Amino acid sequence: MPHPPRQSLQVAAVQSLQGRPAAVVPKPRVPAREEDGPWHADAVCRRDEAGLFFAPSKEPTAARLSREDAAKRLCARCPVMVACREHALIQPEPYGVWGGLTAAERRVVLARRRRRAGELREAS
Ligand code: SF4
């Protein structure tokens, strides 16, 4: 399904999920702020299938893993992967694949960052 120009896949995914149970509907992405830079404009996922990045309701595990792998392959060739990943970590974005990481993987990264920050505070 082609998306209108200038619309990110993530926004399209949110719109496609509206009407589904609240537990699987990600919060709408906030519009890019000036200080975030124009990374949305170069996102590879703007041209691909919206459903790839967010789980449908009651998705079987094998289907989820396959979908997430496909999303990560797109992220791996995306020129704004680092900016997208940092955005998803800083927000934080609770659902979907962003910057090549699933929500669970982002939670691990954030936990490591918190632990590292704590260790640095103790060391100083
Ligand atoms: S890194 Fe992935 S989720 Fe982020 S903009 Fe690129 S393709 Fe989309």
Quick: pLDDT tens for 3-32. Answer: 333 445 555 444 544 444 433 434 434 444
User: In this predicted model, what pLDDT tens digit does every residue of 66-120 receive, in sequence order?
Assistant: 999 999 999 999 999 999 999 999 999 999 999 999 999 999 999 999 999 999 9
Q: The domain containing residue 91 runs over which residues?
A: 9-123
> What domain count does the chain have?
1
Give the CA distances from residue 4 to residues 7, 20, 62, 65, 102, in Å, rounded to whole numbers and listed in that order.
6, 22, 31, 28, 25
Nearest to 91 by CA among 47, 39, 50, 32: 32
Residue 28 has a pLDDT of 38
pTM for the predicted model, two decimal places: 0.72
Ligand 1, residue 88: give the atom nearest the CA: 4
Residue 3 lies in a domain: no
Burial class of residue 27, CB neighbours in 10 A (0-12, 13-18, 19+): exposed
Residue 45 has a pLDDT of 87
Rounded distance from Cα 100 to ligand 1 centre (Å): 7
Neighbour count for residue 50 (Cβ, 10 Å): 21
Give me the count of residues in the chain.
124
Q: Answer whether residue 65 shows pLDDT above 60.
A: yes
Residue 101 pairs in a beta bridge with 98
Q: What is the dihedral angle through the alpha carbons of 57, 63, 66, 68, rounded to the nearest 10 degrees?
A: 10
Residue 111 lies in a domain: yes
Higher model confidence: residue 17 or residue 51? Answer: 51
CB 7 within 8 A of CB 40: no
Give the CA distances from residue 89 to residues 31, 66, 68, 83, in Å, rounded to whole numbers and listed in that order.
16, 23, 17, 10
Rounded distance from Cα 76 to ligand 1 centre (Å): 8
Rounded distance from Cα 120 to ligand 1 centre (Å): 31
Residue 30 lies in a domain: yes
Residue 2 lies in a domain: no
